[in-house]
Amino acid sequence: MTDWAQGYDRQGAKNPALVEEAVALASRADVDVVVAVVGLDERSESEGLDRSTMAIPAAQNDLMEALAAAGKPVVAVLVAGSPVELPWFADVDALLYIGLSGQAGASAAARVLTGAVTPSGHLAETWPLRYDDCPSSGWYPAIGRDAIYREGPFVGYRYYGTADVPVRFPFGYGLSYTTFAYADLKADDTGVEFTVTNTGACAGSTVAQLYVRGPKGGVLRPDRELKGFAKVWLEAGASKTVRIDFDRYTFRHFDTAADAWRVESGQWTLMVGTDAASIELQTTFAVAGDVDPVPADPALGAYLTGHVKDVTDAEMRALFGREVMAPGKPTTFGANDPISAWSGSKGFVARLVANTLTKRERKVREKTGSPDLNTLFILNMPPRAMSKMTQGMIDSRMVDAVVKIANGRTFRGAGSFIAGFFRNQSANKHTAKELEHE
């Protein structure tokens, strides 16, 4: 028998009665397995809206804790567009991540849960244990005008693997209802070959991934970098020889001093695995490049070990070759500054526009429980996008006029915009007539 309970308030409000109802259902004698669907609602994750936390709503975590204590096997179906913290992960028996799967997602999830389909997805990003583990957690969200990518080349799995930071799921991770074995790695001048065998009881797919590690004592780079992958489908017990070819990106790096792409000569390590942390096969491979390995600049400090959270301003300056400190909040606005930034404008009209839009979005959110996506889109849009979004009705000179308004030159900007509107209309009509005569 199959039954269901709501379990939690969709908008995140605490509701013990909903939890009690779900636990009572899970505790019934005729319930063998509990399937709990949790994740991010439209208040937590939406287009035009940055997430402020990696946590899912606390009401859902309360539900998962209570269900785990009920004593029945719990299968979590997770709906989210990107990583979330999973404090109850060790207490569930299985987890099916379905991303943002759209209107057919429920039927697709049911087919996976019942075994009609063997899952074969692999994650396209690392899932940290908690937000504090992210390399950029100390400086993002940025409070100034710009967000500086202090982590340099150590983004995503390149950081976690190099700095040896534990994660919930590594980049490329994915399980299946079957298992696979890798063997016989061989490398030649154009790529690698290896054998994959389906060692389980049902047909399925795996994603074989090729990572490379540069020669010792060379340029600054992560411990390993993904350079190719291949999805492999096999019947139960079957084997297949898989090939992943090298390309022009496999061994090269950019030499800033020479302003050119270079390849370091020496012993590289080629690794094949099922994710960034699970390397099944590896071999050394001699590369005849166009430069010999040159040790990285000692001034890079913490960058040399990938521990970018410890990077100093001086070490960041050594990496970028210049001062890259982010300025504070803008006082003079350009075509790339979002309209939301106008709340700090010296001009009354610009401030009014930004503050009115902000209040409107907040009011809609409070009333409906969902973000006002249209208003958020406008708030996060820089003036330069107006030309693209209006299909030529607003040209670059009219964008300049809007920027004048943002900088407090309201009447001059408005006059230029109106004049530009009529000028642009005339030009568009002239172009249309020319096209008619062609």
- Last residue of a domain, which of 117, 142, 160? 117
Domain count of the chain? 2
- Domain containing 413: what range? 339-437
| Average confidence (pLDDT) over 251-266 | 94
Residue 291 lies in a domain: no
CATH of the domain at 100: 3.40.50.1700
Looking at the DSSP bridge assignments, the partners of residue 288 are: none
Of 117, 132, 149, at which residue does a domain stop? Answer: 117
Flag whether 142 is in a domain.
Answer: no
Residue 160 lies in a domain: no
More confident residue, 52 or 134: 134
| Predicted structure pTM score | 0.84
Rounded to an integer, the average pLDDT of 342-368 is 89
The residue with greater pLDDT, 426 or 244, is 244
* Boundary (domain end) residue, out of 117, 139, 165: 117
Residue 270 within a domain: no
Q: How many CA atoms lie within 13 A of 392 on its CB side?
A: 9
Per-residue pLDDT averaged across 358-378, rounded? Answer: 85
pLDDT of residue 344: 86
Upstream peptide bond of 128 is cis (omega within 30 degrees of 0): no
Burial class (CB in 10 A: 0-12, 13-18, 19+), 68: buried
Element (H, E) at 283: strand 279-287
pLDDT of residue 430: 61
Q: What is the C-alpha to C-alpha distance for residues 379 and 358, in angstroms, rounded to an integer?
A: 8
Strands 225-234, 260-263: pairing is: unpaired
- 115-162 tens-digit pLDDT: 999 999 999 999 999 999 999 998 887 777 778 889 999 999 999 999
Tokens of 343: 């709340």
